[in-house]
Amino acid sequence: MANSVLISLFQNIEDELNRAYERNDIKKITELLSDNWTILESSTGLTDKSKFIGAIEDGKLVQIKMLKEVQEVRFFENFAIVISKGINEGQYLDKSYSSEQWVTNIYVKENVNWICIMTLEVPVNCS
């Protein structure tokens, strides 16, 4: 599959996930993330899916804006590594945040759907 086709495919998947985050749509987020999904980010370290969803349910985490532009896709038979550059805005524990970051999402194909199993976030400005 051509890289431009892969970028387009995964941009659509990322956009769907972004919309779910912006709506704080727990049901949709839960569908798009694997049960054993984990996020690794610089400010909170490793967080599993249940803690992440719990923070949204409790109102501790409110995501307002999530945009990612897919830069690169590494495709393997049943999984893909998707590297994007994005911006994320919201509130965590009643404190506003805004960040520009590199995001790596790892997806596995389950039947016909691509499900995210891990997210890694790195600030764009790493200095």
Strands (E) located in 1-127: 33-41, 45-48, 61-75, 79-92, 95-110, 113-123
Residue 1 confidence class, pLDDT cut points 50, 70, 90:
low
Q: What is the mean pLDDT of residues 94-111?
A: 95
pLDDT tens, residue by residue, 25-46:
999 999 999 999 999 998 889 9
User: Would the pLDDT of 2 be above 80?
Assistant: no
Q: What are phi and psi of 126, to 5 degrees?
A: -95, 5
User: 61-82 pLDDT, tens per residue?
Assistant: 999 999 999 999 999 989 999 9
Instruction: Give the per-residue pLDDT at 77.
Output: 86
Choose between 126 and 15: higher pLDDT: 15
With a CB cutoff of 8 Å and minimum separation 6, the contacts of 123 are 42, 99, 100, 101, 102
Domains and CATH numbers, the chain: 3-123 (3.10.450.50)
- Paired with 65 in beta bridges are 89
